[in-house]
């Protein structure tokens, strides 16, 4: 696929800051990709997406979107990039319908097109019931949906989302992930900043892990997981005395006792099937309260590469 975003040696230093917010970042993003940014608060993620959207000027380095230098032409970014607002304060005196429609008009849509897409988004995201209430009166989850609608309208080819499913109930989260997946399949490029890695890794194509302004790793979830641990984890909760199964589990691999009477057994991927067969033959399903097969998650990758700095 075509590279539509090229970042080279991007650095941002704020006055009086102890270290750069971004420190020599270099990477590219392809058309239709769901590109994730993972890192703790203060890692430089918000500064980075602000620069991609033409809202923050870098100290040095370059950003090209569709071969346009958006540092030299920051106004051009608005033609290609939609970014989910950080908060809804600027929209408080509008209704969701007004906020989404007016954003579409500001992006150059005709009255009819903006009205049509506004109605469609209100329905798709489940906002019809409160479409004409002022944003200030809405719940946190409802406001989040309004901000998402504001980002979606106008069909910009690059769309940036910061914690898009925060405050949303399970049904609303499913709607959002479904839409992001459909947008990606239709060729829209999605840049996703999130701490909810268990949900996000279902849709992310590649992920950049950042901390203290630097890019620690870049690759597909599978590639990054393989760097951390090739083993499979068998997580189980035996019935009865947890210590009674220690000899058996120790035969099968590295066995680690967990709180609440649980155990984790680490085994090589090639031996997973044989290990599970042996475990169930010796212990039986009736001897287990719970049993799960787990591979490394993106959160495991992050914690390994960042030296244990927690997401948040």
- The pLDDT tens digits of the residues spanning 152-191 come to 999 999 999 998 998 999 999 999 999 999 999 999 999 9
Quote the pLDDT of residue 309: 54
What tens digit of pLDDT does each residue of 43-98 get? 899 999 999 999 999 999 999 999 999 999 999 999 999 999 888 899 999 999 99
Q: In the structure encoding, which two tokens stand for residue 121, read together?
A: 């988004």
For the cut 90, the answer to whether the pLDDT of residue 103 exceeds it is yes
**How confident is the model at residue 299, as a pLDDT?**
76
Query: How many whole angstroms from its chain centre is CA 164?
Result: 8
pLDDT digits (tens, 9 = 90+) for 266-291: 888 788 888 888 888 888 766 888 88
Contact (Cβ atoms closer than 8 angstroms) between residue 34 and residue 220: no
Which residue has better confidence, 300 or 18?
Answer: 18
pLDDT value of position 296: 76
Instruction: Check if the beta carbon of residue 274 is closer than 8 Å to that of residue 198.
Output: no
Burial class (CB in 10 A: 0-12, 13-18, 19+), 99: buried
Q: Residue 27 forms beta bridges with which residues?
A: 7
- Say yes or no to pLDDT of 136 above 90: yes
Q: How far apart are the first and last CA of the chain?
A: 33
3-state secondary structure of 140: helix
Average pLDDT over residues 14-18: 92
Amino acid 289: pLDDT: 86
Are the C-beta atoms of 190 and 35 separated by less than 8 Å?
yes
Q: Which residues contact 73 (CB under 8 A, 6 or more apart)?
A: none
- % residues pLDDT > 70 (the chain): 96
pLDDT for res 288: 87
> Which of 107, 102, 59, 61 lies closest to 81 in space, CA to CA?
107
Residue 304's CB is within 10 A of a number of other CB atoms, namely: 18
Retrieve residue 155's tokens: 């069909």
Q: Is the pLDDT of residue 130 over 90?
A: yes
CA 269, 224, 152: angle at the middle one, nearest 5?
A: 125
Structure tokens at 210: 């950042």
Q: For residue 310, what pLDDT is reported? A: 53
pLDDT one-digit tens code per residue, 192-249 = 998 777 777 788 999 999 989 999 999 998 888 877 767 788 899 998 888 989 999 9
Question: Would you state the pLDDT for residue 135?
Answer: 97
């Amino acid at each position: 696929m075509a590279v539509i975003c090229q970042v080279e040696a991007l650095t941002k230093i704020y006055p009086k800051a102890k270290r750069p917010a971004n420190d020599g970042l270099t990477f590219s993003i392809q058309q239709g990709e769901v590109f994730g940014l993972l890192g703790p608060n203060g890692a430089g993620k918000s500064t980075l997406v602000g620069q991609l959207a033409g809202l923050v000027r870098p100290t040095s380095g370059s950003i090209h979107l569709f071969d346009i230098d958006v540092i030299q032409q920051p106004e051009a970014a608005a033609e290609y990039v939609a970014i989910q607002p950080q908060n809804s304060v600027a929209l408080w005196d509008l209704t969701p319908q007004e906020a989404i429609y007016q954003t579409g008009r500001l992006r150059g849509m005709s009255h009819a097109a903006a009205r049509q897409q506004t109605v469609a988004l209100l329905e798709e995201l489940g906002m019809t019931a409160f479409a004409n209430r002022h944003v200030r009166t809405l719940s946190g989850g409802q406001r989040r949906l309004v901000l998402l609608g504001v980002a979606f309208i106008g069909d910009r080819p690059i769309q940036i989302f910061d914690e898009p499913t925060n405050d949303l109930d399970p049904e609303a989260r499913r709607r959002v992930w479904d839409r992001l997946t459909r947008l990606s399949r239709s060729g829209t490029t999605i840049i996703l900043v999130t701490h909810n890695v268990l949900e996000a890794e279902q849709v992310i194509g590649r992920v950049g892990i950042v901390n203290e302004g630097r890019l620690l790793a870049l690759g597909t979830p599978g590639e990054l997981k393989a760097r951390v641990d090739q083993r499979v984890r068998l997580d189980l909760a035996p019935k009865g005395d947890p210590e009674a199964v220690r000899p058996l589990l120790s035969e099968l691999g590295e066995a680690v006792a967990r709180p609440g009477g649980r155990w984790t057994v680490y085994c090589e991927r090639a031996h997973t099937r044989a290990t599970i067969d042996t475990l169930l033959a010796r212990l039986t399903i009736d001897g287990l309260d719970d049993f799960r097969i787990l591979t490394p998650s993106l959160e495991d990758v992050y914690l390994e590469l960042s030296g244990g700095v927690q997401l948040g």
